[in-house]
Amino acid sequence: QTVVTQEPSLTVSPGGTVTLTCASSTGAVTSGYYPNWFQQKPGQTPRALIYSTNNKHSWTPARFSGSLLGGKAALTLSGVQPEDEADYYCLLFHGGAQPWVFGGGTKLTVL
Partner 1 sequence: EVQLVESGGGFVQPGGSLRLSCAASGLTFSSHWMSWVRQAPGKGLEWVANINEDGSQKYYVDSVKGRFTISRDNAKDSLYLQMNSLRAEDTAMYYCVKDTNWNYNYWGQGTLVTVSS
What residues make contact with partner 1 under the rule CB under 8 A? 1, 34, 36, 38, 40, 45-48, 51-52, 55, 57, 87, 89, 91, 93, 97-105
Q: How far is the CB of 1 from partner 1 (least distance, A)?
A: 7
Report the DSSP pairing between strands 9-12 and 106-110: parallel
CB of 103 to partner 1, least distance (A): 8
Phi, psi of 30, rounded to the nearest 5 degrees? -120, 180
Judged by beta carbon, residue 16 or residue 95, the one nearer partner 1 is 95
What is the DSSP code (8-state) at residue 34? -
Report helix, strand or coil for 20: strand
